[in-house]
Amino acid sequence: MKSVLILCTGNSCRSQMAEALWNLLADGQWQAQSAGSKPAGYVHPMAIEVMTELGLDLSKARSKSVDEFAKKKFDLAVTVCDSAAESCPNLPAVETFHWPFDDPADVMGNEQQRREEFRRIRDEIKARIAAYLEDD
């Protein structure tokens, strides 16, 4: 089984969604884990909400530090934000990709507008992972 570490700064939105989506879409061929360069200490409630819409439960997920994985070797590391790419130059992986996505937590607006942004980013992440796995 191949392994992937997905990184962002806080490990509260994008990387958490990517971890769950990768594990779903890879159908047992990959094990995905996620971490942050500066963990937020929580998983964003809207990330949990929009993932539930796809039948994925992040309610027990936790924000983790990249330091937890320092001694583990991964087949692939994917950074999903620019600051993680900059702050984690020596990732413990054979291959590294940078797939930047907007941070849905930065969106201003009412609850519905923010929820739509989380859905948009979730769907972008899902499409990017699906395309990668299709070519893998």
Element (H, E) at 102: none
Length of the chain: 136
- DSSP letter assigned to residue 68: G
Residue among 4, 5, 47, 88 flagged as catalytic: 88
Catalytic residue among 81, 84, 85, 129: 81
Report the C-alpha gap between 133 and 136 in whole angstroms. Answer: 5
DSSP 41-90: SS--HHHHHHHHTTT---TT----BGGGGTT--EEEEEE-SHHHHHH--S
CA angle (92, 81, 17) in 5-degree steps: 85
Whether 13 sits among the annotated catalytic residues: the reply is: no
- Residue tagged active-site, from 5, 7, 8, 18: 8
The alpha carbon torsion through 71, 75, 80, 81 (nearest 10 deg) reads 50
Q: Catalytic residue positions? A: 8, 81, 88
